[in-house]
Structure 1
Amino acid sequence: MELGLAGRRALVTGAGKGIGRSTVQALCAAGVRVVAVSRTQADLDSLVGECPGVEPVCVDLADWEATERALSSVGPVDLLVNNAAVALLQPFLEITKEACDRSFDVNLRAVIQVSQIVARSMIARGVPGAIVNVSSQSSQRALTNHSVYSSTKGALDMLTKVMALELGPHKIRVNAVNPTVVMTPMGKAYWSDPHKAKVILDRIPLGRFAEVENVVDAILFLLSDRSGMTTGSALPVEGGFLAT
Structure 2
Amino acid sequence: MTDHVLADRYAIAGKVALVTGGGAGIGRATARLLGALGATVVVMDRDHALADETVAMLTEAGGQGLALAVDVGDGTGLEAAFETIAAEVGPPQIVVNNAGMAIRAKATEISEADWNQVLSVNLTGMFTVARLAARMMTPNGGGVIVNTASIMGLSGGLYPNVAYQTTKGGVVNMTRALALEWAADGIRVNAIAPTYVNTGFITALTSNPETLKTITDATPLGRLAEPEEIADAIVFLASGAAAMITGTILPIDGGYLAR
For this structure pair, what is the TM-score category when the shorter chain's length is used for normalisation?
over 0.9
> Is 1:170 matched up with 2:185?
yes
**Per-residue displacement from partner, 1:101-123 (whole Å, max 9, x unpaired)?**
11111101111111111111111
Matches within 5 A, 1:68-79: 68-75=79-86, 76-79=91-94
> Is 1:231 matched up with 2:246?
yes
Cα deviation for residue 188 of structure 1 reads: 4.8
Corresponding position of 1:87: 102
Give the aligned residue type for 1:129.
G
Could you tell me how far apart the structure 1 residues matched to 2:92 and 2:74 are? 21
Cα deviation for residue 70 of structure 1 reads: 2.1
Cα deviation for residue 90 of structure 1 reads: 0.3
2:199 to 184, 193, 198: 184
Partner SS state of residue 85, structure 2: coil
Corresponding position of 2:3: none
Corresponding position of 1:195: 210
Partner SS state of residue 175, structure 1: strand
Give the aligned residue type for 1:164.
A
Cα deviation for residue 189 of structure 1 reads: 5.6
Whether contact under 8 Å (1:160, 1:176) holds in the other structure is: yes
Normalising by structure 2, we get a TM-score of 0.90
> Is 1:38 matched up with 2:45?
yes
Could you tell me how far apart the structure 1 residues matched to 2:51 and 2:254 are? 31
**Per-residue displacement from partner, 1:124-144 (whole Å, max 9, x unpaired)?**
22x131110011001111132
> Is 1:26 matched up with 2:33?
yes
Could you tell me how far apart the structure 2 residues matched to 1:149 and 1:4 are? 34
Corresponding position of 1:129: 143
Could you tell me how far apart the structure 2 residues matched to 1:196 and 1:188 are? 11
Whether contact under 8 Å (2:73, 2:121) holds in the other structure is: yes
Corresponding position of 2:163: 148
Partner SS state of residue 157, structure 1: helix
Partner SS state of residue 73, structure 1: helix
Cα deviation for residue 231 of structure 1 reads: 0.6
> Is 1:102 matched up with 2:117?
yes
Give the aligned residue type for 2:78.
T
1:49 to 56, 64, 87: 56
Matches within 5 A, 1:101-120: 101-120=116-135
Could you tell me how far apart the structure 2 residues matched to 1:58 and 1:78 are? 20
Larger mean CA deviation between 234-243 and 140-149 belongs to 140-149
Whether contact under 8 Å (2:17, 2:39) holds in the other structure is: yes
Normalising by structure 1, we get a TM-score of 0.95
2:11 to 4, 12, 22: 4
Gaps of 5+ in 1: none
Cα deviation for residue 227 of structure 1 reads: 0.8
Identity %: 38
Could you tell me how far apart the structure 1 residues matched to 2:213 and 2:52 are? 37
Superposition misfits of 4+ residues, deviation over 4 angstroms: none
Give the aligned residue type for 2:104.
L
Could you tell me how far apart the structure 1 residues matched to 2:169 and 2:200 are? 25
Cα deviation for residue 185 of structure 1 reads: 3.5
Larger mean CA deviation between 211-220 and 140-149 belongs to 140-149
Could you tell me how far apart the structure 1 residues matched to 2:252 and 2:127 are? 23
Could you tell me how far apart the structure 2 residues matched to 1:231 and 1:136 are? 17
